[in-house]
Amino acid sequence: MQTHAPPGAGSTPDRTGALPAESARRIYRDMLTARLLDTEAIALQRQGVFPAYVSLRGQEAAQVASAAALDRDRDFAFPTYREMAVALTLGVDMVGYLASHRALWHGGRYDPIASRFGSINAVVGGPVPHAVGWALGERLRGETGCAIAYFGDGASSQGDVHEALNFAGVFGSPVVFFCQNNRWALSVPNERQIAGGSIAARAAGYGMPGITVDGNDAAAVHNATRSALDRARSGGGPTLIEALTYRLAPHSTSDDTTRYRDRGEEHAWQERDPLPRLGTALEEAGHADTAFFEQIEDGARAAVERIRDGIATAPPPAGSDLFTYVYREPTEELARQQRLWREEVEP
Amino acid sequence: MQTHAPPGAGSTPDRTGALPAESARRIYRDMLTARLLDTEAIALQRQGVFPAYVSLRGQEAAQVASAAALDRDRDFAFPTYREMAVALTLGVDMVGYLASHRALWHGGRYDPIASRFGSINAVVGGPVPHAVGWALGERLRGETGCAIAYFGDGASSQGDVHEALNFAGVFGSPVVFFCQNNRWALSVPNERQIAGGSIAARAAGYGMPGITVDGNDAAAVHNATRSALDRARSGGGPTLIEALTYRLAPHSTSDDTTRYRDRGEEHAWQERDPLPRLGTALEEAGHADTAFFEQIEDGARAAVERIRDGIATAPPPAGSDLFTYVYREPTEELARQQRLWREEVEP
Amino acid sequence: MTEALVGEGRGANGAALVEMTMQQAINRALDTALREDPATLVFGEDVGRLGGVFRVTDGLQAAYGQNRVFDTPLAESGIVGLAVGLAMNGWRPIPELQFDGFAYPAVDQIVNQMARMHYRSRGAASMPITVRLPSFGGIQAPEHHGESLEALFAHVPGLKVVAPSDPNDAYRLLLQSIRSDDPVIYMEPKARYWDRRQVVLDGARAQAADTGGDPIGASRIARPGRHATLVAWGAMVHRCLRVAELAAEDGVDLEVLDLRWLKPIDTDGLAASVSRTRRAVVVHEAPLTAGLGAEVSSLITERVFCDLAAPVQRVTGFDVPYPAGPLEPQYLPTIDRILLAVQRTLEF
Amino acid sequence: MTEALVGEGRGANGAALVEMTMQQAINRALDTALREDPATLVFGEDVGRLGGVFRVTDGLQAAYGQNRVFDTPLAESGIVGLAVGLAMNGWRPIPELQFDGFAYPAVDQIVNQMARMHYRSRGAASMPITVRLPSFGGIQAPEHHGESLEALFAHVPGLKVVAPSDPNDAYRLLLQSIRSDDPVIYMEPKARYWDRRQVVLDGARAQAADTGGDPIGASRIARPGRHATLVAWGAMVHRCLRVAELAAEDGVDLEVLDLRWLKPIDTDGLAASVSRTRRAVVVHEAPLTAGLGAEVSSLITERVFCDLAAPVQRVTGFDVPYPAGPLEPQYLPTIDRILLAVQRTLEF
Ligand SMILES: Cc1ncc(C[n+]2csc(CCOP(=O)(O)OP(=O)(O)O)c2C)c(N)n1
Ligand SMILES: Cc1ncc(C[n+]2csc(CCOP(=O)(O)OP(=O)(O)O)c2C)c(N)n1
Ligand SMILES: [Mg+2]
Ligand SMILES: [Mg+2]
């Protein structure tokens, strides 16, 4: 795959210097926190607290640096099931976010509207058209918010993503299509997924810019996303960004990568881990020193601990929640079924 | 719309000369026959024989010249609801074909497998993935047939078409995606349908050639299709062809174009009618003379008359046909319902 | 707006009474909704300049502009997906899917997204979307242009489903659907688009509460009767009324219950009627197996088993695809088949 | 192949008896089909190298090569569309859709294309496609990974639908489906994948005619009884067997009818059982309204009304989306709910 040629080789490791120090530091902090929380989540799965978990390890730069470009007062992010670090960056209540992995509530137990981060969505490709609709809604109201739709390389095969790209182009919706091409869609590599080999190359066919960025380069991701948002916000329409990255962990805690990919490939990407890469760049640019790293790490650990404690004490959903949220305006029939549930099932 | 800039202006009217005389004459004959049959069909609708009809007037070159490039022993065409001239060119039983417009049977009353021309398909975009599957089937069997999928500019918005393009690219299926961009999808013009303005431009995103041809230039269409088929047949994979043409008639006999488009536009395209254009080119190239045209016209009229007579005497479907074709291996339950139908409904 | 003003008058509470077709009534309801609520949007294939293939949205783009009433590209999944996103941003979308058979490409967005977003988000994201779906057969249309998807939608948690049978209900039920904060599939019986009747245009507010009208989920006795209840919706209501007229000539007095709401179903209304008549025949166009008639039959049987003098009869389409032209009348429930079922239940 | 050979033996007509899980039995049936018919193809998301998320296709690509067993891009509509085209070219495709909830994007290709192509082409194009669909809940899976779509599919003319409940049926019914020239939706109850039982591996031919087995559409009495019939399919069969055991302790003798084929439904089998027991409870996971239980209830009532001592009871999922983890057991029909329904029908 040409798309996944080692990005390290030709790229300048300190393009991070292009980021203002404060942004770079904040991004590093969120990436580190995401990494620690991800690691904790895997541990929680091993301990049986989470029935399953989908790790984003290796994709922290793609997620945090793109999300950090969003305006939390105006913009709105539409995630899949793997955007934990986006949620974290946007300040979503992470206990509520992880409630989904704890299997307490599909979609998580945070308020997606208030958080400006859609409910966790497990239909590959499904939420992408929502971003287009949301963004069109901003434009129709004369407002300036932008939507960002996260999706994977596998999702790019779904008809819904195509329909969304086309609608966005036709309507000029202020939306950024952000594809994390992590090379694998579960067990299927890019070669058997993406005709032509590049998702960004699809953009031209919709008359929109298609940008390929090194998804493990936080600065490149951040800048590309910021430009795309600026463009959208100023009426320039949608952009498709393909961030080339890698899923370092299995697809989920139930997956077994040895069935379909080489350890060698994993190791090679391990060496392009975005986290130490940004750390080094920060150091080299003089934006961070040992004290900074220590402080950041302490803060991240404390944050993760708080979240872990929150998870430990998160109450199970009430049985009546089965019925509560089906409708905004409840029906008599469902009330009857709830009475039956109360009589025959409620523990 | 850049795509629909007058193709007449810059194009050489006698590129037809590039076709072997025999091919060009055959194509002209089929185009003329299609035109006359189309005209007859509209008349039959006015007379109440057909409840409705969808005219292909103006698209004869796109249809006939592409279909004429197919190998009728090996290839297979997947039509929409507007490919009457493709059917004619491939030698489909036209009484059977028009049985669909006579509302005698959805999909027509010809054998699609024997005719190598799929059943008429009214789901916009729906049959395009079938072409990819059929073509993959050829390759898997080590055979050399190619599939051609016809679809419209409106259909290009459907997710299924995208999925089909991607599958074809990934599998290297020997398939030609043939889009007749007739500028209108019912009442919606290209400007509000096609982000970026070009369907052919989508091809690059799937790593396949995307060819724009003047769809009213029979030679250009024929050559482009032949090249694409050659390429597919020799293992070169799929091609997307966008033939720029124009739907001279309303969307269907139930449609009223005055609600959404200018007569002026229609007139302009009237002047680019592919039929006289090919006739002139044939004459100029010395491939045809008055005698030829008279003979062709007589033949075409005779053919149309035979078809009209066939339609007039086409038997209505048997009521029991309701049940006959639902399954290959009938179920007892359906047999029971058929008995009920016989007792309570059969006229 | 184009409806004839002949027959115009004043109803009980000063509301205008206008004779119009169902297609005009739906147009009028859309007009009302667009006028009274700036958050409403009408979009779909060919709904703008053309005014829809059935002219149901005729004149709306001219009246409310391209921002409120607009054509989309030809992609049903995209249309519903767009509606979901707009709803998440505070809009009240009224998408049209052009024909019943073309709702299938949108099923994933309808079932997995629109119907569940409120639930998934624990009530944070409401989905006040009304999907207009020209539905059912009876016009001998091309393939996919006449189908009955109510059983599919009625099975989906989170949806509400309604099918009006006449212009007045079409008007009120559409406004009720649009104003509901839940997603509604509004199934328009194409075969009745040109049916012309009086409609109570109660101005800006036609909602249940305002008009003393029926709440969401209420059925309607289209004709009272004593000997058996015919249950139907959409175009089949009129067929059942015709059956009732014919049966009356033989002294059989049939009640016709227009179910209207297919989700939620008015079980109380069904039970009340059938406990009186002790016999029921449910009629629908869709194929028999796993059709909504099975649900209606089961609900009746569960509720009034001891009152039933005969098993509930089902008269439905056969388990075959909607056929072409001349076969369609043989596929759809005929008057004879309904009469025979009535006879079976009376003679049971 | 990986099934344990413990418990291997010989059946009546010399067929091997092997103890294996349902997941292994399905794998074995696919292996048999791939071996005996070079026109069969297995494809879908992750079915190749990975062997499927449930390892159901484990080892098949290694055994039959990438041309017979292959991964597709991630697009369910494309997968079914591909199968339709392959079938038109003489192949016998066995596509997998990875999870029930991801069948929705393929509904258009399933309903408008696969199910109708034979009809549309007046028998010229047959569609010998078996869509494998891991189905139903019970494993507290993420959203969309546990759903029940049988009512949707059973309503579609041209489809056949089957759901095995144990390894032996899984093996035979899959071969029967694959060898059928009609399209079949084969619903695999995920919750039973690891259920281990004896399977009769009758070699190359496990078809009805060859083995004296049941034809397509036949149900099975999983446990004979006298006091009431429990009707179920998929994982609910086992729950009903458990209920029957518990009821037996109280002297209530329940019959359990495993419906197996959800289209066509074995009406004769249902009628025969219930005319003996005079009482029926139908149990399914899907939501109540317009679920397949309504069809089963209606069929029974229509056929044996006079024998019924009580209305057929339905014990089903509630009209809510399949919920997350700890709520799923409260959503699915519980043993208590089924027992209470039995009691209601006995005391009616
Ligand atoms: C419509 C749909 N089909 C199938 C699945 C099952 N599934 C879950 S994730 C996945 C792979 C997704 O790959 P990609 O889009 O690259 O995202 P990634 O997991 O790499 O983040 C599959 C097949 C699904 N969730 N949704
Ligand atoms: C899936 C689907 N949606 C909607 C329709 C209704 N419809 C029939 S033709 C048409 C326009 C098609 O335009 P295009 O693809 O450009 O083909 P053309 O009619 O111009 O040949 C529409 C909207 C349909 N047939 N199928
Ligand atoms: Mg991926
Ligand atoms: Mg067109």
CATH code where residue B152 lies: 3.40.50.970
The strand pair at C160-162 and C261-263 is best described as antiparallel
Q: What CATH architecture is C220-346? A: 3-Layer(aba) Sandwich (3.40)
Q: Please give the residue of chain A at the shortest CA–CA distance from B157.
A: A163
| Domain spanning C6-207, CATH class | alpha beta
Q: Is the minimum distance from the CB of B4 to ligand 2 under 6 angstroms? A: no
Q: What is the per-residue pLDDT for C75?
A: 98
Instruction: Name residue D337's amino acid.
Output: R
Write out the catalytic residue numbers of D: 145
Distance (Å) from the C-alpha of residue A111 to the closest C-alpha of chain B? 31
- Going by C-alpha positions, the residue among A105, A51, A83 that lies closest to residue A314 is A105
- The verdict on the CB of residue B154 being under 6 Å from ligand 2 is yes
d(CA A251, CA A261): 12
Tokens matching residue C342: 């009535």
In whole angstroms, what separates CA B257 from the centre of its chain? 21
Can you point out the beta strands (E) in A224-326?
Answer: 239-244
Please tell me whether residues A322 and A310 are part of one structural domain.
no
Question: What atom of ligand 1 comes closest to residue A82's alpha carbon?
Answer: 21
Distance in Å, CA A309 to ligand 3 centroid: 31
How far apart are the C-alpha atoms of B184 and C46, rounded to whole Å?
11
Ligand number, closest to the Cα atom of D77: 1
Percent of chain C with pLDDT over 90: 92
Helix axes of C267-277 and C292-304: crossing angle, nearest 10 degrees: 60
Q: Based on the fold, state whether residues A136 and A207 are members of the same structural domain.
A: yes
Q: Is residue A156 within 8 Å of A129, Cβ to Cβ?
A: no
Specify the pTM. 0.97
Please tell me which of the candidates D46, D320, D325 has its beta carbon nearest to residue A104: D325
Chain C residues closer than 8 Å to B107 by CB = 143
Q: Which residues have a Cβ under 8 Å from the Cβ of C49 and sit 6 or more positions away?
A: B187, B259, B260, C61, C71
The token duo for A114 is: 């208030």
Tell me if A137 and C90 make a contact (CB, 8 A cut-off): yes
A11 within some domain: no
Enumerate residues 69 to 88 of chain D having a beta carbon within 8 A of any beta carbon in chain C.
77
Q: What single string gives the DSSP state of each residue in A103-147? A: TSSTT-SS-HHHHTBPPP--STTTTHHHHHHHHHHHHHTT----E
The answer on B123 and B61 residing in a single domain is yes
A7, part of any domain: no
The answer as to whether A142 is a domain residue is yes
Residue B82: which of B189, B182, B10 has the closest Cα? B182
Residue A9 alpha carbon to ligand 3 centre in Å: 23
Average pLDDT, chain D: 94
Beta strands in chain C, from DSSP E residues, in sequence order: 9-10, 16-21, 40-44, 69-71, 92-96, 130-135, 160-162, 184-189, 196-201, 220-223, 228-232, 254-258, 261-263, 280-287, 313-317
Cross-chain Cβ contact C140/B160 below 8 Å: no
Cα separations (Å) of A75 from A134, A175, A246, B310, D101?
Answer: 10, 10, 26, 63, 30
CA distance D44 to chain B (A): 12
Atom number, ligand 1, closest to the C-alpha of residue A59:
21
**Which residues surround ligand 1 with Cβ inside 6 Å?**
A 82, 122-124, 152-155, 182, 184-186, 247, 251; D 45, 74, 98, 102, 105
Task: Give me the residues paired with residue B175 across strands.
Answer: B147
Residue D55 Cα to ligand 2 middle (Å): 41
Taking CB atoms and an 8 Å limit, are C318 and B337 in contact across chains?
Answer: yes
Q: Is the pLDDT of residue C211 over 90?
A: no
Say whether residue C152 is in contact with chain D using an 8 A CB cutoff.
yes
pLDDT in tens, D93-116: 999 999 999 999 999 999 999 999
Test the C interface: residue of B321, B341, B345 with most C CBs within 10 Å: B345
- C71 contacts on B by Cβ (under 8 Å): 187-188, 192
| CB–CB contact D289 C265 (8 Å) | yes
Q: Which of residues 239-298 of A touch D (CB under 8 A)?
A: 254, 259-260
pLDDT at residue A7, rounded to an integer: 42
Chain A residues close to B207, C-beta within 8 Å: 195-197
For C278, other C-beta atoms within 10 Å of its C-beta total 17
How far apart CA B145 and CA B138 sit, in angstroms, is: 6
- pLDDT, tens digit, 9 for 90 and up, residues D271-306: 999 999 999 999 999 999 999 999 999 999 999 999
Interhelix angle C22-36/C167-179, nearest 10 degrees: 30
Mean local confidence (pLDDT), D205-225: 78
Residue A54 Cα: closest atom of ligand 1: 19
Q: Which of C46, C53, C72, C74 to mutate to test the pocket of ligand 2 (most atoms within 8 A of CB)?
A: C74
Q: Kind and range of the H or E element at A83?
A: none
User: Does residue D290 contact residue D317 with C-beta atoms inside 8 Å?
Assistant: no
Q: Which residue of A has its CA nearest to D76?
A: A158
pLDDT tens digits for range A122-143: 999 999 999 999 999 999 999 9
Verify that A202 and A341 share a domain, yes or no. Answer: no
CB contact under 8 A, D334 and A185: no
Structure tokens at A140: 């129709």
Q: Quick one: A193 and A335 in the same domain?
A: no
**Partners of residue B197 in chain A, C-beta under 8 Å:** 207
Q: How far apart are CA A317 and CA A103, in angstroms?
A: 10
Q: Choose among C125, C123, C83: nearest CA to C103.
A: C83
- Is the residue at A6 inside a domain? no
Q: Which of the residues in chain B have pLDDT under 70?
A: 1-17
- Tell me the pLDDT tens digit for each residue of C103-124: 999 999 999 999 999 999 999 9
Position B324 in a domain: yes
| Distance from C-alpha of B255 to C-alpha of B55, rounded to nearest angstrom | 11
Query: Quick one: pLDDT band at residue C328, thresholds 50, 70, 90?
Result: very high
Residue B153 beta carbon below 6 angstroms from any ligand 2 atom: yes
- Which residue minimizes the CA distance to atom 2 of ligand 2? B124
Distance D130 CA to ligand 4 centre (A): 34
Please list, residue by residue across A194-215, b when 16 or more beta carbons sit within 10 angstroms of its beta carbon and e when fewer do: bbbbbbbbbbbbbbbbbbbbbb
C6-26 exposure pattern, b = at least 16 Cβ within 10 A, e = fewer: eeeeeeeeebebbbbbbbbbb
Domain with CATH 3.40.50.970 in chain C: 6-207
pLDDT at C1: 38
B199 C-beta closer than 6 A to ligand 2: no
- Number of structural domains, chain B? 2
Which residue from A121, A324, A328 is facing C126, i.e. has the nearest CB? A328
Cβ contact D84–B132 (<8 Å) = no
Nearest CA to ligand 1 atom 2: A124
Phi-psi region of D126 (alpha: psi -120 to 50; beta: other; left: phi over 0): beta
What residues of A act catalytically?
Answer: 247, 251, 260
**Region D172-198: what's the mean pLDDT?**
97
Q: How big is the CA angle at D49 (ends D43 and D52), to the nearest 5 degrees?
A: 60
Residues of B in contact with C143 (CB under 8 A): 106-107, 122
The closest of B61, B78, B67 to B246, measured between CA atoms, is B61
Q: What residues have CB less than 8 Å from D210, skipping those under 6 apart?
A: D202
Tokens 């995630």 correspond to A79
Q: Does D271 touch chain C (CB under 8 A)?
A: no
D118:B326 CB<8 A: yes
A144 touches chain D (CB under 8 A): no
Ligand 2 and B274: CB distance under 6 A: no
A109 and A152 in a single domain? The answer is: yes
Catalytic residue among C118, C144, C145, C284: C145
Side-chain half-sphere CA neighbours of D318 within 13 A: 31
Among the partner-chain residues A105, A129, A140, the one whose CB lies closest to the CB of C122 is A105
* pLDDT category of residue C12 using cuts at 50, 70 and 90: low
Put simply, the answer to whether C121 touches A119 (Cβ < 8 Å) is: yes
Q: DSSP letter at A315?
A: P
Residues B68, B161 within the same domain:
yes
Which residues, 6 or more positions from D314, have their beta carbon under 8 angstroms from its beta carbon?
C298, C302, D281, D282, D283, D284, D288, D291, D293, D294, D297, D341
Does A17 have pLDDT greater than 60? no
> What is the domain extent for residue A346?
317-347
Question: Smallest Cα–Cα separation from C236: which of C296, C305, C299?
Answer: C296
Let me know: does A181 contact A190? Beta carbons within 8 Å: yes
d(CA B84, CA B38): 8
User: Range(s) for CATH 3.40.50.920 in chain D?
Assistant: 220-346
With 0-12 CB in 10 A as exposed, 13-18 as middle and 19+ as buried, what is A285?
middle
pLDDT confidence of residue B155: 98
Q: Which atom of ligand 1 is nearest to the CA of A156?
A: 15
Residue A4 lies in a domain: no
Chain A interface includes B123 (CB < 8 A): no
Q: Specify whether the backbone of B88 is left (phi greater than 0), alpha (psi in -120 to 50) or beta.
A: alpha
If asked whether residues A52 and A171 sit together in one domain, one would say yes
C134 neighbors C190 (Cβ within 8 angstroms):
yes
Q: Ligand 1 test: best mutation among A38, A120, A124, A184, most atoms within 8 Å of CB? A: A124
Question: What distance in Å separates residue D264's CA from the closest CA in chain B?
Answer: 7
The answer to whether B28 touches B296, Cβ cutoff 8 Å, is yes
Could you tell me if B108 lies within 8 Å of chain C, comparing CB atoms?
A: no
Residues A311 and A187 in one domain: yes
Instruction: Note if the bond before D224 is cis, omega within 30 degrees.
Output: no
Q: State whether A140 and A284 are in the same domain.
A: yes
The 3-state DSSP class for residue C282 equals strand
**Confidence tier at D11 by pLDDT (50, 70, 90):** low
Please report which helix (H) or strand (E) contains residue B175, including its range. Answer: strand B175-181
**Any domain includes B337:** yes
- Over 50: is that where the pLDDT of C251 sits? yes
Buried b / exposed e across D157-167, counting CB within 10 Å, b at 16+?
A: bbbbbbbbbbb
- Summarised one tens digit per residue, pLDDT across range A260-305 is 999 999 999 999 999 999 999 999 999 999 999 999 999 999 999 9
> Chain D interface, mutation test: which of A82, A104, A187, most D Cβ atoms within 10 Å?
A187
pLDDT of residue D13: 61
pLDDT at C8: 57
Confidence of residue D213 (pLDDT cuts 50, 70, 90): confident
Q: Which residues of B touch A160 (CB under 8 A)?
A: 159
Measured distance CA(B200)–CA(B241) in Å, rounded? 6
Q: Tens digit of pLDDT for each residue in B87-139?
A: 999 999 999 999 999 999 999 999 999 999 999 999 999 999 999 999 999 99
Are residues B72 and B209 both part of a single domain? yes
Q: Which residues of C touch A131 (CB under 8 A)?
A: 85
> Do B148 and B73 sit in the same domain of this protein?
yes
Q: Which tens digits make up the pLDDT trace of C119-139? A: 999 999 999 999 999 999 999
